[in-house]
Amino acid sequence: MSNGAPFVIKICGLSTPETLRTALDGGADMVGFVFHPKSPRFITPQRAAELATIARGKAEIAALIVDWDERQAAELVEALKPDWLQLHGHETPEQTAALRRAAGRPVMKALGIAAADDLKAITAYRDVADRILLDAKPPKDAAYPGGHGRPFDWTLLAGLDPAQPFMLGGGLDPANVTEAIRIARPAGVDVSSGVESAPGVKDPARIAEFIAAARMAAAAVQEGSTA
């Protein structure tokens, strides 16, 4: 966690005005819309554009895509005008850079983590992605890459360069986010399934609880690091 940098709380996979407003009212810094058809959180660009009118100016908007080409990304940006592209597939560093150029937007690259060796990928993406999201690796038979509610071992991150900011995702929920922030010291957190009552069904109470817990935990870590 960088001293003095704003801590980012992202609620991903939103699909209704009610839950989006809960995230905004709770103080979410970023909201995410999922454009991967196999995900239970999938929405169309048209639907996302409608929701974006509620969020714009109140939180940053991230568009989650999986292994898209430059043309698709550029068309989505034209329709939605997101603040960020979140790349959640097998995009190489070269593809990440190409998507960033084509979309004209900063990109967040998700990297699946299960073991210490997985952290080596950070170096390859450091110069082509504007933000790194360290997420739990999905099960081998998974139909979609994220939102499976399984955390990874946060202690794996103890050896990371403190100057390398990253966001943390994968299995976070209102009950464990405080511990996750204390151990991993990320620059932000990203949650999806951990604030749901069923796959793809966001729970307003859990959204509010998560944001409050994350904000308090981040403040405690920040105060400790500057004391």
Hey, which residues are catalytic here?
12, 135
DSSP letter (8 states) at residue 187: S
Tell me the two tokens of residue 161.
Answer: 């360069």
Q: CA 34 from chain center: how many Å?
A: 11
Q: What angle do CA 136, 11, 125 make, to 5 degrees?
A: 50
Q: How far apart are CA 146 and CA 89, in angstroms?
A: 9
Yes or no: say if 169 and 177 are a contact pair by the CB < 8 Å rule.
no
Strand pairing class (167-168; 188-191): parallel
